[in-house]
Amino acid sequence: MPFSLHIDKEYIVNLDLPPEERWKEVAQAKAPQIRKVLSRFKEFVADWGKDAEELIKLVDTKFGQFDDTIPGPFRGEIMGMAKYSNMNLGEIVLYNIFYEVFTVCTSIVAQDSAGKLFHARNLDFGLFIGWDIKNKTWAITEVLKPAIINLRYTRSGITVFKSVNFAGYIGILSGIKPNMFTLTMNERFNADGGFIGIIEWILGIRTGSWMGFLTRSVLENATSYEEARLMLTKEEMLAPAYFILGGLKPGEACVITRARESTIDVWEMPSAGGWYILETNYDHWKAPLFLDDRRTPANNCMKNMTQSGVSIKGLFNVLNSKPVLNKLTTYTALMQVDTGHLETYIANCTDPCFPW
């Protein structure tokens, strides 16, 4: 595979259809990829211990007994995905939970000299899940790449928003509402992790929202940058996260640092340096883990590029510099809010490449 592979095909999710029918094309086209990802995921569950294994067994085999606890329209969409991919309901729920707790990312919102805003991200996935010694790759990362798709969500034939997804996942990790705002989600590592919220949800404590459902709702329903910002700071969630939000007007960008039940911090682009804001997976006021410092090289690349270099191409080059690009990177997404532009590249980090 070349250094990066551009994704050309775009699937339509018609929001006018009943929820059970919206994902038919994706489910039928990508069922083998969905099944392969889930199968590989299960193979490595033992690495996380008995509790994680028991959680997976519970969701995988018993979820049909309480599937009505998922709010609409997501419940219907998951049911449709299960039907048309010929997988059981518990498997599709498990597949969606998987993405709530294992994303490692770099997100950047940058403003060019004319005040136009661009939003770019690398989505890294599969940290310490199944190192393939023979091929020198992370097994989950590689099996995810064929499942990457571009989506356009429409209503009455008009684009509402667009996203980059792993086929089978109905939430959103990277999305754009044209001429309004852009949004990415990065995982936040702390003791109050995603497994705790998910276990509580299974046991009947369901006050929190799935992160992917929240971002999806924001992209579908928010009508301004300000409204999106408010929704992302107020909702209780199953797991902590960073929401990286970009707007349309100059200076409209922030990183929202979330605990499960509250907002810890809102970091605005003007206070981050004026023309860009950058987030990996660590609180911006703390040093990153020394073994995983993508922040420092990414910031160095941005400063070397300067504001005059801000563009789709410029940000692509930043995100494809090592170690910002690494063996865990599945895709690079690039968005320009004023034009509604979204393009995606499947990543390939040639050796030598971190991690290992």
pLDDT in tens, 125-168: 866 566 666 677 788 899 999 999 999 999 999 999 999 999 99
Q: How far is CA 249 from CA 171, 226, 269, 337, 338, in A?
A: 26, 11, 12, 10, 9
Domain interval for residue 278: 4-317+332-347
Identify which of 262, 260, 257 has the alpha carbon closest to the alpha carbon of residue 272: 257
Residue 1: predicted pLDDT? 38
Query: Position of tokens 């969905």?
Result: 34
For residue 158, tell me if it sits in a domain: yes
For residue 354, tell me if it sits in a domain: no
For residue 131, tell me if it sits in a domain: yes
Residue 207: predicted pLDDT? 65
Identify which of 174, 169, 177 has the alpha carbon closest to the alpha carbon of residue 153: 177
Cis omega (within 30 of 0) on the bond before 73?
yes
Cis omega (within 30 of 0) on the bond before 288?
no
Is residue 64 very low, low, confident or very high in pLDDT (cuts 50, 70, 90)?
low
pTM of the entire structure? 0.92
- 220: domain CATH number? 3.60.60
For residue 322, tell me if it sits in a domain: no
Residues 271 and 60: their CA atoms lie apart, in Å, by 45
Residues 295 and 284: their CA atoms lie apart, in Å, by 9
Query: Position of tokens 């909702």?
Result: 235
Q: What is the mean pLDDT of the chain?
A: 88
Tell me the catalytic residues: 105
Residues 107-127 pLDDT 10s: 999 999 999 999 999 999 866
For residue 205, tell me if it sits in a domain: yes
Element (H, E) at 90: helix 89-98
Residues 201-239 pLDDT 10s: 666 666 667 889 999 999 999 999 999 999 999 988 888
Residue 285: predicted pLDDT? 96
Higher pLDDT, 153 or 61: 153
Is residue 2 very low, low, confident or very high in pLDDT (cuts 50, 70, 90)?
very low
Residues 292-319 pLDDT 10s: 999 999 999 999 999 999 999 999 999 9
Residues 283 and 197: their CA atoms lie apart, in Å, by 20
Burial class (CB in 10 A: 0-12, 13-18, 19+), 308: exposed
For residue 255, tell me if it sits in a domain: yes
Compute the half-sphere exposure of residue 86: CA atoms within 13 Å on the CB side of its CA. Answer: 6
Number of structural domains (the chain) is 1
Query: Contact, 96 vs 215, CB < 8 A?
Result: no
For residue 324, tell me if it sits in a domain: no
Identify which of 295, 303, 248 has the alpha carbon closest to the alpha carbon of residue 275: 303
Residue 236: predicted pLDDT? 87
Identify which of 232, 190, 227, 186 has the alpha carbon closest to the alpha carbon of residue 209: 232
Residues 184 and 244: their CA atoms lie apart, in Å, by 5
Residues 28 and 143: their CA atoms lie apart, in Å, by 18
For residue 325, tell me if it sits in a domain: no
Is the model's pLDDT at 26 over the cut of 80?
A: yes
Residue 291: predicted pLDDT? 85
Share of the chain above pLDDT 90, in %: 66
Element (H, E) at 84: helix 74-85
